Amino acid sequence: QVQLVESGGGLVQAGGSLRLSCAASGIIFRISTMGWYRQAPGKQRELVASITSSGSTNYADSVKGRFTISRDNAKNTVYLQMNSLKPEDTAVYYCKANTALNYWGQGTQVTVSS
């Protein structure tokens, strides 16, 4: 059974930082491309950042220079360090595992107040 469990969301003031974690089980984590997505109210879900099994990363233009994705294969965990947060970063953040099938976590709320 595949499980992706996100944590680390919360309420933060603009300019602040948060670190999201996504712990995976039931997949061969080390060969999986992992991604963070977000969905704001009334908007489509969008890619925030992704990281391949070899460590190559990709970021949405809106978060480049502020967010960093990383992974710890020994802990089957992917992280999203978010700095210089803006109110427009407010959304539910989801972890996704790209394997033969795609798996999603349940999401964690990030709210940035102005």
> pLDDT by residue for the chain (114 residues), tens digit each?
899 999 999 999 999 999 999 999 988 888 899 999 999 999 999 999 999 999 999 999 999 999 999 999 999 999 999 999 999 999 999 999 998 889 999 999 999 999
Instruction: Provide the pLDDT for residue 64.
Output: 98
Nearest to 18 by CA among 34, 38, 1, 45: 38
Instruction: Provide the pLDDT for residue 99.
Output: 86
Spatial contact of 68 and 80, defined as CB atoms under 8 Å apart: yes
* Cα(83)–Cα(65) distance, integer angstroms: 9
Nearest to 71 by CA among 95, 87, 47: 95
Instruction: Provide the pLDDT for residue 30.
Output: 87
* Cα(97)–Cα(29) distance, integer angstroms: 8
